[in-house]
Amino acid sequence: MPMTKPSRFWHANCPSCRWRLRCVLQAYRYDMKGLVLSPFGNASFAGVSREKRREGAETMIIFTLRRLLLLLVTLFFLTVVGFCLSYFTPHAPLQGASLWNAWAFWFDSVMHWDFGVSSINGQPISEQLRQVFPATMELCIMAFGFALLVGIPVGMLAGITRNKWQDKVISFFALLGFSIPVFWLALLLTLFFLVNARLVAGFRSLRPAV
């Protein structure tokens, strides 16, 4: 049903006509293309077409599936690298077996949390991981929270000030942060805050035993 033209009954200085126009605009919420009209009494569009929303949902699903596939491929290559490091190590216990049998034995041991014995101190590696895993997770959670508190506002500021000097400064420091190796930056920050500045002296962990 076509929408009645407002010019036939609408007068700019008549409150009754304004109210009637607002009701008409709210009644005809969808036009021929399925666009949602604004509920505030004007003719501006407040939504997008159903086709575009469906395309956006399909694009998001495809993007998520690609990310999951990339995660699986990355995990596979990580297992291959870890196996090669243990298989081609001198005096490794898996060198006598075939490559496929050695990989199957190694993968089964990893799935059962059996990483062998350390060549440095002779202790089981799984026990050493259990000792340092809580502190590592604590550090990761704190770093993730700090990244959310800082990264989201800074990212919003960069989006608002796009192509301005604020955006360029934020992009420069973001690229610099991605370029610096994390382990090297951690050593520098530890050296500065714990040794020289002593700003966080005595801080070890939230757990007293660590």
pLDDT in tens, 1-30: 444 444 444 455 555 655 555 555 544 444
Give the pLDDT confidence score for residue 22 in this predicted structure: 57
Q: Is-contact 38 45, C-beta < 8 A?
A: yes
Give pLDDT, residue 124: 84
Mean pLDDT of 59-64: 87
Is pLDDT of 73 > 90?
yes
Q: What local confidence, expressed as pLDDT, does residue 63 receive?
A: 87
State pLDDT tens for residues 125-172.
888 888 888 888 888 898 889 889 998 899 889 888 888 898 899 999
CB 47 within 8 A of CB 39: no
Task: Report the percent of the chain where pLDDT is more than 90.
Answer: 7
93 compared with 188, residue with greater pLDDT? 188
The reported pTM is 0.47
Q: Would you tell me how many other CB atoms lie within 10 Å of the CB of residue 184?
A: 9
- Residues 130, 123: Cα–Cα separation, whole Å: 12
Using the predicted structure, report yes or no on whether residue 88 has a pLDDT greater than 70. yes
* Average pLDDT of span 61-73: 91
